[in-house]
Amino acid sequence: MSMIDKLKELGVNTDEGLKRFMGNAALYERMMGKLPANVRSQEVMKHFDEKDYQAALESTHTLKGVTGNLSVTPLYQAYSEAVRLLRENEPEKAREVVEAVLPLENEILNCIENDQ
Amino acid sequence: MENKDKTILIVDDMEINRAILAEGFTDTYHIIEAENGKQAMETINAHRDIAAVLLDLIMPEMDGISVLRELNRTGKINHIPVFIITAADNEDTLTEAYELGAVDVISKPFIMNFIKSRITNIIELYGHRNELVEIVNEQIKKLSKINKSMIETLATLIEFRDCESGEHVRRICGLTRILLTSISDTYPEYYMDRVEIEKVVNASILHDVGKIAIPDGILNKPGRLTKEEFEIMKQHTVKGGEMLENIPNKIFDDDTFKYAIDICRHHHERWDGRGYPDGLAGDEITIWAQIVALADVYDALTSPRCYKAAFDHETALNMIYNGECGVFNPKVLEILRKNECNVKNEHDLVL
């Protein structure tokens, strides 16, 4: 099974994502390959642990954009919700939302990394 | 449509976002990518052919709002359309971006078909607009050239009939520019911006246009004029103003025209009210008419005329300061003192 098919099973809207890359599957996969490093370098949970909610807002905001553009829909939804909650001064609820999606996020990132 | 001669600058710290936008436009545009605002500004300053900027807001080094501010400060925002890349979740920042001149917003996740159409349309619109601005500027240049050559044509007509040197009007222009600029910079009550000063300079060419209406026998009489002849000669001020007022369809720039009418009529008025034709006194005489009056007197003194030889620069200045050519505004004389060297240079230059 190709990486794209596996990601599809994990809820990634690969058809929409591929369309966004003008049908260039190689480029889509290459950019998907950059997602794990992008997500990890944002250190979202660390910001929440340190209660640095401005940094948490900036990193969730960045990940919202990237996951949206790659059509990693479950992560996009979670980070969108986290951004909204952080803006509404509900950092604890935002943290819960991010925490809840971590297992799936790991699964998706592992799937991408195993393919490379 | 092939636009490879046009460049789109994509500014985003996330490579994934840049890659999508680049892929969408790479078949039609030349693409340059920048990771932050600082790189973006370097690119914009180094390239003249940036057709559009796609700009992320939150970036390290220099953020998108700072880039917009810089483009505003330099006026580049008027020629280059800037699109904001945003997750569209912060109204305040977007409002600020629009206020700073951003043309449109690209929302994440991108919908490439829409983005391509919108950006392509706006690039074309800006292209047309920039072309039009250039055409209009060219036309304005041409018009002002025509304007000036018409004024000079009229002035040449007077020179044909007058025994004054053909360079007289050119020197009047130079002297008027020097003295008016200096008095405008020295006394706030006489302030005029540079564009207005140039209009007065052009208008000064016409100061003696009324002499066309003066009979040859008086205009070119080698000796002193009789009282009656002088009365007729004085009429060149009134006639000049009337002639210009009666020119149909205002062929000149409106302001230049108004200055010229005023200068024609009032360049023989004097500060103490003993000039002609209206006997205006003090600042009833406009500052431009006062300045052209002084320039005219200085040039008449230092040039040979059919009825007299030329005085040298120092003698001419002393005659003016001593009130031998009528009373001038003390501030205008002060300006003449300050600019004696410039005035002499200007006079020698065109002699």
Q: Spell out the domains of chain A, with CATH numbers in brackets.
A: 3-115 (1.20.120)
pLDDT number for residue B86: 85
Evaluate if residue B260 carries a pLDDT over 70. yes
Q: Mind telling me how many Å the CA of B14 is from chain A's nearest CA?
A: 8
Question: For chain B, where do the domains classified as CATH 3.40.50.2300 start and end?
Answer: 7-134
Is the ipTM above a cut-off of 0.90?
no
Q: Give the torsion sign (CA, B193, B196, B201, B202).
A: positive
A18 has a chain B CB within 8 A of its CB: no
pLDDT number for residue B335: 96
pTM as predicted: 0.62
Task: Tell me if residue B51 falls in helix, strand or coil.
Answer: strand
CATH homologous superfamily of B162-350 equals Hypothetical protein af1432 (1.10.3210.10)
Q: Which chain A residues are closer than 8 Å to B17 by Cβ?
A: 65-66, 69
Inter-residue contact A98 to A78 (CB < 8 Å):
yes
Evaluate if residue B4 carries a pLDDT over 80. no
pLDDT by residue (tens digit) across B203-252? 998 899 898 889 988 988 888 889 999 999 999 999 999 988 887 656 66
Position B350 confidence tier, pLDDT thresholds 50, 70, 90: low
Evaluate if residue B162 carries a pLDDT over 70. no
Position A86 confidence tier, pLDDT thresholds 50, 70, 90: very high
pLDDT number for residue A3: 84
Q: Which chain A residues are closer than 8 Å to B24 by Cβ?
A: 22
- Residues of B labelled as active-site residues: 211
Residue B82 CB partners (closer than 8 Å, separation 6+): B52, B53, B55, B67, B68, B71, B101, B102, B103
Average pLDDT, chain A: 92
Q: Which of A12, A13, A18, A21 to mutate to test the interface with B (most CBs of B within 10 A)?
A: A21
Position B89 confidence tier, pLDDT thresholds 50, 70, 90: low
State the fold for domain B7-134: Rossmann fold (3.40.50)
pLDDT, mean of residues B172-199? 93
B117 has a chain A CB within 8 A of its CB: no
Task: Tell me if residue B33 falls in helix, strand or coil.
Answer: strand
pLDDT by residue (tens digit) across B271-323? 999 999 999 999 999 999 999 999 999 999 998 877 788 899 999 999 999 99
pLDDT number for residue B351: 59
Q: Which of A66, A87, A112 to mutate to test the interface with B (most CBs of B within 10 A)?
A: A66
pLDDT, mean of residues A5-24? 92
pLDDT number for residue B153: 78
Question: For chain B, where do the domains classified as CATH 1.10.3210.10 start and end?
Answer: 162-350
Average pLDDT, chain B: 89
Q: What are residue B305's phi and psi, to 5 degrees?
A: -125, 170
pLDDT number for residue B45: 92
